[in-house]
Structure 1
Amino acid sequence: MPHALLERIDTLGPEVVALQRALVAIPALGPDNDGQGETAKAEFLERHLRALGLADILRLDAPDARVPGGLRPNILARIPGRDTSRTLWIISHIDIVPPGNPDLWHSDPYELKVDGDFLVGRGVEDNHGGIVPSLVLAKALLDAGATAPMNLGLLFVADEETGSAYGLGHVVAEHAEQFGPDDLFLVPDFGVADSSLMEVAEKSMLWLKVEVFGRQCHASTPEQGLNSLVAAADFILRTRRLHQEFPAVDPLFSPAHSTFSPTRKDANVPNVNTIPGHDVLYVDCRVLPQYAVADVLDAFGRIASEIEAEHGVRVACSPMQAEQAAPATPVDSEIVRRLSAAIEAVYGVTPAPAGIGGGTVAAILRRAGRDAVVWSTCEHFAHQPNERSRISTQLGDAKVMARVLFA
C-alpha cells in the first residue's frame, strides 16, 4: 500500500468541500420525482474526470423520452492498473430525492453549508457520500503517480431512487461486456456511523396498494351504505397475523424477521357526515429471502377475501413494487475479505457482514452473478431535511477504497 497515496488523501479535505459544493448546487431529480433528470450533474462529473486526466471515459446512457434530451446518463471511467484484466468497480448514483418541506431545512438544500466537520445539503450523503470519496481516490492515485494492482473503475449511474431501470439496470443489461469475470464491486450507498456494517444481503420487497370499494351514504343512515373505512381498518389489523404466517428469523438481518407495515392512507371523503365508499391504503413489506413474494401476495389475497365476506365490500390488491431478494454475497468472498481488512486498518473497528430491509443497486449485480458489497460511513440523514455528512469520513472512506484496491 503506497503511503504517499494515503498521505495525499489526507490533504484533500478542501477537495471534498469543493466537490460537494458543486454537486449540491445541481439538482438531479428523475422524472418520477418531477425533475428534469441527471444530465447537468453527469456533465459536471464528466468534465471533472477529464480535468483529472482520465481518458478512458464512456457514456452508457439510457433512452427516456420524459427528460430533456431524451437520455438518462450513466458514466463509466477507468484508471488502468498493472493487471488490466481486473477492475475494482466503485458504483455510486447521481440522482437525489426532493428536499421535501422547505420549512424543515435550516439552510437552502441546494447550497452547501459547512459546519465544522459537517456538510449539510441535499445529496451530501445520498449519494455524494459515495461519489466524492471515489473521486478523491482517483485524484490521489493520479497525483501520487501510483499504479494499482488492478484497474480502478468508477461508475456513476442514474435512476437509483426510482428503480434503476435507466441506471445500473440498463448498464448491466445492455453493456455487460464492460465487466470482467474477476472484477470486484463496491457500492458506497449504505452504512453506519462507526463504519462497521457491510451489507451483503437484502430482503425481498413488496409495496402493496389496497383499494376498498364500498357504498357512500349519509352518516346519519349508515345502514344504507358500506363503510369502506371500517373495512380498510379491519384489513390493516388483520395484516398483523402475517408475522405468524411468515415467522422465520435470520440474525444476518436487523430486524431479523420479515416486516409487514401499513403506511400510507389516502384521503377519502372531505366532510365528517358522509360514510366513505372508497378507501385506499398501502402496505410496505420487507420479507426474508426464503419466502416467495408470490406467497405473501397470496396471503394478502386471503385477507382481502375475508374482508369482502364480512363487510360486503370489494377489495383489490395490486403490487406497486415486487422484488424477490437477490442471492446474498458470500461472507467469505474476495470483496468482503478485502473490504473487511481495509475498514479495520482505517477505522479500527471489526466490521460485520449484515443484511438490510432496504434495496440497493447491489441486488442488480447479485442477480447477474456478481459478488457485491454495499458499504460506506453514513450519518443516516439520507432523505431527511438537513441531510448531512462528514468531511473526515469521506476522506476515511477514500482510504478504505484505496486499501481495497491495493490489497
Structure 2
Amino acid sequence: MLDTLLKALAGRADRALELQTGVTSFPAVGPDSGGPGEWDKAAWLEARLRAYGLTDIERLDADDERVPSGKRPNMIVRVPGKSKRMVWVLGHLDVVPPGDAGLWRSDPWIVTRDAEDPDIIRGRGVEDNQQAVVAGSLIAAELVEQGLTPDLGFGLIVVADEETGNKYGAEYVLEQRPDLIAPDDLVLVPDFGTADGTLIEVAEKGTLWLKVTVTGVQCHASTPDEGKNALVAASAMILRVREVEERFNAVDPLFTPPRSTMAATRHDANVPNVNTIPGKDVFFIDCRVLPAYSVDEVLDAFRGLGAEIAAQYGVTVAVDVVSREPAAPATPVNSEVVTLLKEAIFRIYGLECHAGGIGGGTVARLVRHRNIPAAVWSRVFDNAHVPNEAARLSDAV
C-alpha cells in the first residue's frame, strides 16, 4: 500500500501547486497583527478537500469578534484505517504579515515559480505553514482517490492562530475535544525543519513575551528638564536585557542555541513629532527559556529590572505578559513516533536523522503538555517570516 501511495503522490506536483496557489491568495493574518483572520482561506481549502472526495471533515471554529467572520476556523479531516489508532498531521492556516513590500520580488499573496528552478515557489506562507497543510491534504486526498485503507487511520488537523498564541486554534481544539488525540496515536507537526531533513525536533523551550510600558512626563523638547523622557528610560532597560539573559546561564546541548535567549524586539511609536519629549514608551521582549528554569522566574527578573529603571529615571515601568507558555515535557528520543519517523526518512530519503530541541514554538508543545509524544519534522529552506519566503513543491509530495 505504501508504495502505491508514494508513487501516486510523486505525480501530484501540479496539485501541490494548485493548493499552494489557492491558500496563499488569502492574507490569513490574525487580528493581533492587523489582519482579517483565516476564514476565507479555510473555506477555500475545505471546498477543495471535498472536491477530492473527502467527506469526514469536522469544524471546531472559535468565536472571535475581532475578525469580520466572527470566527477563527479549525478543521479536522479523517481517513479511516484498519485500526482505531491514528496518525495525525497538524498544520496551521494563519501566516505572519509580509512586512516591507519593497523587499519582495513579487506580490507576497501570489505564488510565483522560480525562473531557474520551477520546483521552488515563493509567497507568504508557502513554508510556514502551508507546506504542512498541503502535504497533509495531498495524503488524505490520495488515500481516498486510490481507495486505500491504511493500517492506522490518517488525520489532518488544520488550526488558526498559531502565530499569535494558539488561543483560538490548537489550544481551543484540544480543550473542546480532549479525547481527539489518543495517547497511543502518532503525532507529526511539520512546522519546523532543515534543508537536509536530518533534524527531528523533540523539545521546545518555554516562551515568554513581555510588554514593557514606561511612563514618564511629556514636555517640549526645548525644555527637557521639565519632563521625564520615557524613551531614554526604555532604552536603558533595553540595553540591560542581556544582563537578565546572562543570569539564566544554564546550557543544554539538546537545544540550538543551547542557552536561554532574551531579546528586545518590537517597539511601538511614541510621539509623532521631533520636538516633543515622549511621556510614554512601549517595547516588547521575546524570551525563550530552557526547561531548567520557570518562565515565572524570568518574569520576576524583568519586573525587578523594571523597578530599578523606574527608580533611576523617575518613571514608572509596567511589565505585562503577552504570552506565557512553559516548556512541555520533551518527546523521548526512543518514542514510537520518533523511531518510526527515523525509519521512514531513511527508507525514502536515505538520511540518518538525529533528535534535538529548538527555541521556536509549535503546536507540538500543546500535545506534549497532554503527555502525548509528538515529533516535529519537515524538509524546508528554513526561511519562515522573511521576504520572498520559498518552498519546494517536491517537499510536499
Identify if the C-alpha distance between structure 1 residues 119 and 337 changes in structure 2 by more than 3 Å, giving closer, same or farther.
same
RMSD of aligned residue pairs (Cα, Å): 2.0
Preserved contact between residue 2 and residue 146 of structure 1 (Cα < 8 Å)? no
Identify if the C-alpha distance between structure 1 residues 179 and 270 changes in structure 2 by more than 3 Å, giving closer, same or farther.
closer
Q: Report the Cα offset of residue 7 of structure 1.
A: 1.4
Who is 1:368 aligned against? 370
Give the Cα–Cα distance (whole angstroms) in 1 for the partners of residues 239 and 375 of structure 2.
37
Identify if the C-alpha distance between structure 1 residues 54 and 249 changes in structure 2 by more than 3 Å, giving closer, same or farther.
same
Who is 1:302 aligned against? 304
Give the Cα–Cα distance (whole angstroms) in 2 for the partners of residues 284 and 293 of structure 1.
12
Q: Percent identity?
A: 51
Who is 2:251 aligned against? 249
1:44 correspondence with 2:51: no
Question: Which one of the candidate residues 169, 172, 178 is aligned to 1:170?
Answer: 172
Preserved contact between residue 213 and residue 317 of structure 2 (Cα < 8 Å)? yes
Who is 1:186 aligned against? 188
SS of residue paired to 1:170:
helix
1:88 correspondence with 2:87: yes
Match for 2:137: what amino acid? L
Question: Which one of the candidate residues 122, 137, 142 is aligned to 2:139?
Answer: 137
Give the Cα–Cα distance (whole angstroms) in 2 for the partners of residues 192 and 87 of structure 1.
26
Query: How many residue pairs align between the two structures?
Result: 394
Give the Cα–Cα distance (whole angstroms) in 1 for the partners of residues 383 and 80 of structure 2.
35
Residues 295-334 of structure 1 aligned to structure 2 (within 5 Å): 295-334=297-336
Preserved contact between residue 329 and residue 369 of structure 2 (Cα < 8 Å)? yes
Identify if the C-alpha distance between structure 1 residues 328 and 228 changes in structure 2 by more than 3 Å, giving closer, same or farther.
same
Give the Cα–Cα distance (whole angstroms) in 2 for the partners of residues 219 and 61 of structure 1.
50
Q: Report the Cα offset of residue 195 of structure 1.
A: 1.0
Residues 97-108 of structure 1 aligned to structure 2 (within 5 Å): 97-108=96-107
Give the Cα–Cα distance (whole angstroms) in 2 for the partners of residues 74 and 200 of structure 1.
24
Give the Cα–Cα distance (whole angstroms) in 1 for the partners of residues 69 and 249 of structure 2.
49
Match for 1:366: what amino acid? R
Q: Which stretch of the first structure deviates more once superposed, 55-64 or 32-41?
A: 32-41
Give the Cα–Cα distance (whole angstroms) in 1 for the partners of residues 66 and 308 of structure 2.
41
Identify if the C-alpha distance between structure 1 residues 237 and 92 changes in structure 2 by more than 3 Å, giving closer, same or farther.
same
Who is 1:260 aligned against? 262
SS of residue paired to 1:192:
coil
Q: List per-residue Cα deviations over 1:229-279 (Å, max 9, x = no partner).
A: 332232222222223321100111111001111223333345555544332
Identify if the C-alpha distance between structure 1 residues 283 and 51 changes in structure 2 by more than 3 Å, giving closer, same or farther.
same
Match for 2:14: what amino acid? P
Who is 1:21 aligned against? 21
Give the Cα–Cα distance (whole angstroms) in 2 for the partners of residues 110 and 276 of structure 1.
37
Preserved contact between residue 260 and residue 285 of structure 1 (Cα < 8 Å)? yes
Identify if the C-alpha distance between structure 1 residues 341 and 229 changes in structure 2 by more than 3 Å, giving closer, same or farther.
same
Who is 2:12 aligned against? 12
Q: List per-residue Cα deviations over 1:293-342 (Å, max 9, x = no partner).
A: 11111111221222223222222211222221111111111111111111
Q: List per-residue Cα deviations over 1:32-79 (Å, max 9, x = no partner).
A: 333333222222222222222223221122222333443222111211
Who is 1:285 aligned against? 287
Give the Cα–Cα distance (whole angstroms) in 2 for the partners of residues 35 and 307 of structure 1.
35
Match for 2:88: what amino acid? W
Question: Which one of the candidate residues 219, 223, 240 is aligned to 1:238?
Answer: 240
Give the Cα–Cα distance (whole angstroms) in 1 for the partners of residues 309 and 26 of structure 2.
48
Who is 1:111 aligned against? 110
TM-score, length of structure 2 as denominator length: 0.93
Give the Cα–Cα distance (whole angstroms) in 1 for the partners of residues 141 and 278 of structure 2.
61
Preserved contact between residue 78 and residue 140 of structure 2 (Cα < 8 Å)? no
TM-score, length of structure 1 as denominator length: 0.90
Identify if the C-alpha distance between structure 1 residues 292 and 143 changes in structure 2 by more than 3 Å, giving closer, same or farther.
same
Give the Cα–Cα distance (whole angstroms) in 1 for the partners of residues 222 and 42 of structure 2.
59
| 5+ long unaligned stretches in structure 1 | 396-407
SS of residue paired to 1:130:
helix
Who is 1:157 aligned against? 159
Q: List per-residue Cα deviations over 1:343-383 (Å, max 9, x = no partner).
A: 22222222121111111111111112211111111112222
Question: Which one of the candidate residues 343, 350, 353 is aligned to 2:352?
Answer: 350
Give the Cα–Cα distance (whole angstroms) in 1 for the partners of residues 267 and 42 of structure 2.
36
Q: Which stretch of the first structure deviates more once superposed, 55-64 or 208-217?
A: 208-217
Give the Cα–Cα distance (whole angstroms) in 1 for the partners of residues 113 and 323 of structure 2.
38
Give the Cα–Cα distance (whole angstroms) in 2 for the partners of residues 205 and 366 of structure 1.
15
Question: Larger helix proportion, structure 1 or 2?
Answer: 1
Who is 1:378 aligned against? 380
Match for 2:131: what amino acid? G
